[in-house]
Amino acid sequence: MQAHSLPTFHDVELASRRIAREARLTPLIESPALNACTGGRVLIKPEMLQRTGSFKFRGAYNRIVQLDAQEHPRGVVAFSSGNHAQGVAAAAQLRNLPAVIVMPDDAPAMKRANTESYGATVVTCDRARQDRRAIAQGIAEEQGSVLVPAYDDPHIIAGQGTVGLELALEARRRDVELDVLLVPCSGGGLIAGINLAFEALSPRTEVCVVEPEGFDDHARSLDTGQRMENELRSGSICDALLSAQPGEMTFEINRRCLKGAFAVSDDEVRDAVAFAYRELKVVVEPGGAVALAALLAGKVDAAGKSVGIVLSGGNIDVDQFCSILNAS
């Protein structure tokens, strides 16, 4: 696969083999309580159980495992609000490569601490006023290290696509054909990879994107046919889903495959985080809970249908988590 080419389902299959020794094969779970309140059958892919607490490890490791430490002694650089940061840091540590991560200064303390715990050096920036990609690119050029983007990279997309590969194969094993699949989205790497898997394995499933209100760039981009940019750079509880606009590569895939888009409010996300804890017995961060929020808020008619949702991460600060639970 050339660095500039779009990945294919075959690349997702290769990524699955490449990451198998280090990534966890997360289960597909079902909740009678969620089925009862939605009127459908809901299959949940809990990626907060993945290594580093989110799906991001999959793409990061698929990219970094292909680097030769002797050819790239300066290691890797990434820019991220936290989950990709942790994925890159953990993958680099496993491959004995140094890592520098550019993170917004308002990123959750837990995400920064976890990133540093994997041995990475964190450089902070102002989310609203500075271009973290440009900062990371400058560091990479100065140090001679490899830039590992969060989503707009074929190896990253293929790695994230293993979420969809596992989900589709496990649903098939249970003799379930999903009518709808809801996926959280920021830059679009996860849902692009999942689209590649479902296009090949479950083409009848309607794959839909879920975004925070005010950061619905994919919904607007699908309407116009071109990549739209968000006016805001911060202001949502979903810190993991605040990219400025869809990626170029990811949007090429997503505009071909996506069947719908939904936006959820911060209050709906809080309700979903609390529901996940009380009924599913799992800890989900706000950005990871948007698909569940859309379902619980009735934005998707699940009655009589089989619906899949991805809970994409669980890295939430304790104080924020307790505040959400106490207010619910």
pLDDT of residue 4: 63
Question: Which pair of structure tokens corresponds to residue 215?
Answer: 């950061």
- From 93, 126, 147, the end of a domain falls on 147
What does the pLDDT read at residue 106? 87
What CATH number should be reported for the domain holding residue 275?
3.40.50.1100
Mean pLDDT of the chain: 95
In total, the chain counts a number of residues equal to 328
Strands (E), 36-141: 41-46, 76-79, 99-104, 121-125
In a domain, 152, yes or no: no
Residue 76: predicted pLDDT: 96
260-318 pLDDT tens trace: 999 999 999 999 999 999 999 999 999 999 999 999 999 999 999 999 999 999 999 99
Number of neighbours of residue 60 by Cβ within 10 angstroms: 35
Does pLDDT of 42 surpass 50? yes
pTM value surpassing 0.85 = yes
Of the three residues 82, 116, 147, the one that is the final residue of a domain is 147
Q: Is residue 2 part of a domain?
A: no
Instruction: Report whether 269 contacts 293 (CB < 8 A).
Output: yes
Let me know whether 185 and 209 are in one domain.
yes
CA distance 297 to 289: 12
pLDDT tens profile 65-90: 999 888 889 999 999 888 999 999 99
pLDDT grade for 216, boundaries at 50, 70 and 90: very high
How many domains are there within the chain?
2
* HSE toward the beta carbon, residue 64, CA cutoff 13 A: 33
| Res. 192: pLDDT tops 60 | yes
Nearest partner of 289 among 189, 197, 211, judged by Cα: 211
Least confident of 109-113, 183-187, 257-261, 296-300: 109-113
Residue 231 lies in a domain: yes
Within 13 A of 189's CA, how many CA atoms are on the CB side?
28
Neighbours of 130 (CB within 10 A): 15
pLDDT tens sequence across 218-227: 999 999 999 9
| Axis-axis angle for helices 189-201, 9-19 (nearest 10) | 110
Cβ-contact 207, 257 below 8 angstroms: yes
Same domain, yes or no, for 202 and 109?
no
| Residue 178 belongs to a domain | yes
Instruction: Decide if 281 is inside a domain.
Output: yes
Res 96 pLDDT > 90:
yes
Same domain, 256 and 171: yes
321 in the same domain as 174: yes
Specify if 235 maps to a domain. Answer: yes
* Sign of the dihedral defined by the CA atoms of residues 316, 319, 320, 321, in that order: positive
Residue entry with tokens 């995400």: 111
Both 272 and 192 in one domain: the answer is: yes
Q: State the amino acid at position 80 in one-letter form.
A: S
Instruction: Judge if 201 and 286 occupy the same domain.
Output: yes
Tell me the pLDDT tens digit for each residue of 156-175: 999 999 999 999 999 999 99
Q: Are residues 79 and 187 in the same domain?
A: no
* Burial per residue of 63-98, b for 16 or more beta-carbon CB atoms within 10 angstroms, e otherwise: bbbebeeeebeebbbbbbbbbbbbbbbbbbbbbebb
What does the pLDDT read at residue 3? Answer: 47
Given 96, 120, 147, the domain boundary residue is 147
- Say whether both 14 and 61 belong to one domain: no
- How are beta strands 121-125 and 260-264 bridged, if at all? unpaired
Is the same domain home to 62 and 169?
A: no
Residues 35, 113 share a domain: no
| Whole-angstrom distance, CA of residue 282 vs CA of residue 314 | 8
Counting residues of the chain whose pLDDT is more than 90, the rounded percentage is 87
Per-residue confidence (pLDDT) for residue 184, from 0 to 100: 98
Q: Considering the domain boundaries, does residue 38 fall inside one? A: yes
**Quick one: angle between helices 154-173 and 56-64, nearest 10?**
130
Which range of residues forms the domain containing residue 247?
A: 9-54+157-327
Q: How far is CA 303 from CA 37, 40, 42, 259, in A?
A: 9, 5, 10, 18
Residues 254 and 236 in one domain: yes
Are 171 and 116 members of one domain? no
